[in-house]
Amino acid sequence: MTKSENEKKRLRAVVENSFPITQEGDMPRKKFYRSRAHCNPLSHNNTFDYPSHSSEMDWSTHYPNISPAHPSEKIAPTVLDIGCGFGGLTIALTKLLPNETILGLEIRAKVTEYVRLRIMAHRKDNPGEYERASVLRSNTMKFMPNFFQKSSLEKVFFCFPDPHFKKKNHPRRIVSESLLSEYAYFLKPGSGKLYCITDVEDLHNWHVKHCRAHPLFRELTKVEMDEDPCVKAMYNETEEGMKVERAGANKYYAVYERIVNDTERTLKITAENFFEMGQFGVSEGE
């Protein structure tokens, strides 16, 4: 029997006997978890589970072996790999940032399951490690407020996001004026960072244009970026980045710090006044 016949037989057995393609604790094989490359993040057809309020989210099932620094605190993610794909950066960040709690967010169900199994296999093979990594299936363009609290995040990564080339599809881009205000709301003022990298120069220019125009972000200098090990990780460790490397194409990146706004210093910030028109970068009619 040839290798591909063997593989077909194995898959038939999986379907007929309805046992999982990968046993939990085994390393999943990517080829069984590929799915359509693009989906419409503005579609209303997807069914996602989400709590009605971020305070109701119980992260302990994602990080069962981690206790919060203080008994009065709850464990929650502090670093997000948004659109994590097959999870290379999510895994790498767990090693690089041992004191942070890392969450990959992915819209595609099969790909999310691959990352979950990948993390489980790493945990099994390396007892006590990878406990601060997890993944969640979600559409971040819609549901971030249902999961995350104000000023709770240290870092958010947007690595090789879908470019949505056509002008009519630009509203599907994951970095936009109003979404930047959301990201600013969740990032810690004065230290939180937003990272973006792409191989599409036009999309990079879009990121730079929107982030520079936003009153709550400051662009890091080249020196500052060179000193940040997370920049090297986002350049080298994502699956998409490796593909770009193999193709010999360029990668364009930028990093932005969430700054403190003067109004914010004096005003008690709530979700309501933060997102008021014109207050923190949300302009009418975007």
105 makes contact with ligand SAM (CB under 6 A): yes
CA–CA separation, 74 and 113 (whole Å) = 25
Binding mask 17-56 for ligand SAM (x = CB under 6 A): ------------------------x---------------
Q: Does residue 161 touch ligand SAM according to CB under 6 A?
A: yes
> What count of Cα atoms within 13 Å lies in the side-chain half-sphere of residue 276?
9
b (16+ CB within 10 A) / e for 198-222: bbbeebbebbbebbeebebbeebee
Site string for ligand SAM, 236-275 (x = CB under 6 A): --xxxx----------------------------------
Least distance in Å: CB of 107 to ligand SAM? 4
> Which range in 5-13, 92-100, 120-128, 159-167 contacts ligand SAM by CB under 6 A?
159-167
The DSSP H or E segment spanning 105 is strand 102-106
> Could you say which of 26, 58, 81, 162 is catalytic?
162
User: In the 8-state DSSP scheme, what is residue 59?
Assistant: G
Q: 162 an active-site residue?
A: yes
- Work out the number of other CB atoms within 10 angstroms of the CB of residue 81: 31
- Cβ closest to ligand SAM, residue 57 vs residue 189: 57
Q: Measured from the CB of residue 38, what is the shortest distance to ligand SAM in angstroms?
A: 7
- Compute the distance between CA of residue 145 and CA of residue 283 in angstroms, rounded to an integer: 19
What dihedral do alpha carbons 141, 279, 213, 106 form, nearest 10°?
Answer: -10
Residue from 57, 76, 84, 117 binding ligand SAM (CB under 6 A): 84
Catalytic residues: 162
The site for ligand SAM (CB under 6 A) is made up of 41, 83-85, 105-108, 111, 139-141, 159-162, 174, 238-241
